[in-house]
């Protein structure tokens, strides 16, 4: 396809939502890359000029970092913003409430786009709207470029690469098990979850879409991906597991990556994502307790008055988050194991040295934006709606290892990574 020729852009990168908690962390991280990224032309965008100036001053950003007034809810404002940038990085959510005007503007303007979206209902709605204009303009639209879902998505891509290198065959089944998860729930994630449950409450049919692992692969549905909603024993891990709270979004992105790559792992590929709870009776008790807690949380979020009570009294507010010490003390480890059709296995461990919701996420999404700018050509990844694993793959994985505090390690076998309490 011949893309429309785009006029030169004033900025390489614009961060929308820079006055929010995560947006500020993104700005802080980008500034920390100087002098390596000294030539980067970047800007901060948001509704309130005074708050933008406060961020600029508190972080000691130079005057060369421009401040752009822009309203995410206004289509004209978003069109003007998209016209100025080669890449827009959006931390302004919930995306199902305010994200539409910007991503549509980027698709029309030929502007690459990355975000932190963990809202699969909105993504399923936007993919068919965005694909044709993005393909025509050359815009690469990449959702879910934070902890949701890059460590899992890229973890599977990395594992499959290693399977081919070591065994000459892909994994037909992959199991991701979260072994360690230390950090606080993101206020933005909480707001997105509330918005998603509100949509399901308005249209119960969306609950089936939310449960569908192939909701983001229009026209393709693979084999059943049966994953127990309760505690279960993992014979590969030889430990007890429970459902993982973010599996609903990560699983959909893994299958979308596979589809966008042309199903190289087989059209019968299966993927499971759960949280490891440990071995023996104590592991079983933990798994049962966590599964019940998650089931109760889903029940409470599905009831309108309870959602409002949680919003007011319990859940973290958007724009709030842990301090620098707390972020540095956070971490995560994910064991990802694949088995070939004849049962040979390879395991990798993906880990991050910051709390997943803020410290690691702000670095991952920043490097995703920079990867699109510097490492991924339009001939390799043309305009369209992508995942990080399909659009950037191992190029982004190498960036995250080099600069963002992530590690991707091949283990000798599954017994090399014993289960620990998450």
The backbone torsions φ and ψ at residue 351, rounded to the nearest 5 degrees and listed phi first, read -135, 155
Separation CA 265–CA 252 (nearest Å): 16
Residues counted in the chain: 422
Q: Is the pLDDT confidence value at 419 over 50? A: no
Separation CA 126–CA 105 (nearest Å): 12
- Global pTM value: 0.92
Residue 58 in tokens: 């508190």
Separation CA 393–CA 209 (nearest Å): 26
DSSP SS3 for 331: strand
Residue 102 in tokens: 């910007």
DSSP state of 166: H
- pLDDT, tens only, 356-412: 999 999 999 999 999 999 999 999 999 999 999 999 999 999 999 999 999 999 997
What does the angle CA 286 – CA 290 – CA 294 come to, to the nearest 5 degrees? 175
**Closest by Cα among 11, 20, 16 to 54:** 20
- pLDDT, tens only, 243-284: 998 999 999 999 999 999 999 999 999 999 999 999 999 999
**Interval 164-183 mean pLDDT:** 96
DSSP state of 215: T
Measure Cα distances from 184 to 125, 189, 249, 323, 330 in Å.
29, 11, 18, 11, 8
CA 392, 393, 394, 397 dihedral sign is positive
**Closest by Cα among 69, 83, 89, 85 to 27:** 89
Q: 308-312 contacts: CB < 8 A, separation 24 or more? A: 310/194, 311/194
What does the angle CA 122 – CA 252 – CA 131 come to, to the nearest 5 degrees? 55
- pLDDT, tens only, 21-31: 999 999 999 99
**Confidence label for 197 from pLDDT (cuts 50, 70 and 90):** confident
Q: Is the pLDDT confidence value at 318 over 70? A: no
Beta bridge partner(s), residue 46:
69
Name the helix (H) or strand (E) containing 197: helix 187-202
Tell how far CA 265 is from the center of its chain.
Answer: 22
DSSP state of 45: E
Let me know: does 375 contact 87? Beta carbons within 8 Å. no
Separation CA 249–CA 120 (nearest Å): 6
Residue 388 in tokens: 């990080």
């Amino acid at each position: 396809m011949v893309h429309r020729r785009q006029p030169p852009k004033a900025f390489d990168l614009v961060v929308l939502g820079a006055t929010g908690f995560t947006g500020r962390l993104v700005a802080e991280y980008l500034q920390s890359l100087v002098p390596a990224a000294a030539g980067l032309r970047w800007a901060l965008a948001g509704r309130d000029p005074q708050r933008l100036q406060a961020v600029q001053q508190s972080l000691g950003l130079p005057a060369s970092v421009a401040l752009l007034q822009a309203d995410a809810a206004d289509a004209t404002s978003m069109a003007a913003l998209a016209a100025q940038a080669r890449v827009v990085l959006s931390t302004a959510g919930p995306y199902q409430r305010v994200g539409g005007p910007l991503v549509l503007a980027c698709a029309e303007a030929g502007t690459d786009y990355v975000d932190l979206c963990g809202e699969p209902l909105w993504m399923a709605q936007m993919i068919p709207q965005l694909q044709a204009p993005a393909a025509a303009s050359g815009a690469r639209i990449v959702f879910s470029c934070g902890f949701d879902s890059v460590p899992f998505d890229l973890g599977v891509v990395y594992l499959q690469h290693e399977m081919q290198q070591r065994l000459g065959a892909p994994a037909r089944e992959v199991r991701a098990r979260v072994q360690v998860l230390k950090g606080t729930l993101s206020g933005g994630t909480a707001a997105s979850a509330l918005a998603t449950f509100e949509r399901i409450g308005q249209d119960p049919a969306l609950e089936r879409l939310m449960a569908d692992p192939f909701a983001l692969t229009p026209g393709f549905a693979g084999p059943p991906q049966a994953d127990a909603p309760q505690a279960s024993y993992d014979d590969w891990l030889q430990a007890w597991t429970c459902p993982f709270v973010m599996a609903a979004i990560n699983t959909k992105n893994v299958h979308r990556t596979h589809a966008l790559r042309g199903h190289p792992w087989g059209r019968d590929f299966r993927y499971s994502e759960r949280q490891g709870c440990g071995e023996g009776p104590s592991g079983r008790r933990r798994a049962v307790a966590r599964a019940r807690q998650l089931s109760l949380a889903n029940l409470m979020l599905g009831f309108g008055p309870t959602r409002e009570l949680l919003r007011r009294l319990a859940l973290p507010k958007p724009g709030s988050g842990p301090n620098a010490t707390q972020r540095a003390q956070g971490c995560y480890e994910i064991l990802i194991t694949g088995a070939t059709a004849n049962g040979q296995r390879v395991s990798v461990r993906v880990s991050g040295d910051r709390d997943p919701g803020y410290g690691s996420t702000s670095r991952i999404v920043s490097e995703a934006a920079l990867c699109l700018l510097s490492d991924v050509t339009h001939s390799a990844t043309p305009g369209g709606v992508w995942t990080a694993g399909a659009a950037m793959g191992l190029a982004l994985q190498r960036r995250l290892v080099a600069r963002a505090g992530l590690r991707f390690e091949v283990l000798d076998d599954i017994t090399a990574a014993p289960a620990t309490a998450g």
